[in-house]
Amino acid sequence: MTVLVKILAVALVTVFAFMIVKQIKPEIALLISIAGSVLIIILAVDTLNSVISSFYKIFTTTGVDATLLTPLFKILAIGYITEFGANICQDANATSVADKVLFAGKIIILFVALPIVTTVIDMVVGLL
């Protein structure tokens, strides 16, 4: 809960600084927004360790191959990074570029998901 309070505090400070600086220097306001966003991500990633260990426990108790965790977390990371990059593009009024970033992220997620899909297909074939 304290992490959330820290994240909200950083977000509020970032938004207020962004709004004040935007009137004077819009290009610096974009940098403030990016810096605040990166700080928020760093704070959120600190809690990721418990999530990873929970997934590992689920995979080991169900008997599913734990090597599938790697593509799963890659997919999550690609999704978050893609969204973050697209939001930066949108903040810079480059909506067209943001759309291309999202499209590219979806294609990369599809590519990274192939090992999971093949494993699921192999499991289904093994049940038949």
Domain around 86: 62-128
Domains identified in the chain, total number: 2
Q: Is pLDDT at 1 greater than 80 in this prediction?
A: no
Q: Is pLDDT at 99 greater than 90 in this prediction?
A: yes
The DSSP secondary structure of 43-96, one letter per residue, reads HHHTTHHHHHHHHHHHHHHHT--GGGHHHHHHHHHHHHHHHHHHHHHHHTT-HH
* Structural domain includes residue 55: no
Q: Are residues 74 and 34 in the same domain?
A: no
Q: Is pLDDT at 78 greater than 90 in this prediction?
A: yes
Q: Are residues 69 and 111 in the same domain?
A: yes
Q: Are residues 74 and 35 in the same domain?
A: no
Q: Are residues 67 and 42 in the same domain?
A: no
* Structural domain includes residue 115: yes
Instruction: Provide the residue type at 81 as one letter.
Output: I
Higher pLDDT, 87 or 119: 87
Give mean pLDDT, residues 90-112: 94
* Structural domain includes residue 52: no
Q: How far apart are CA 125 and CA 119, in angstroms?
A: 10
* Structural domain includes residue 57: no
Whether the full predicted model's pTM is greater than 0.85, yes or no, is no
Q: Are residues 77 and 112 in the same domain?
A: yes
Highest-confidence range of 12-16, 41-45, 67-71, by mean pLDDT?
A: 12-16
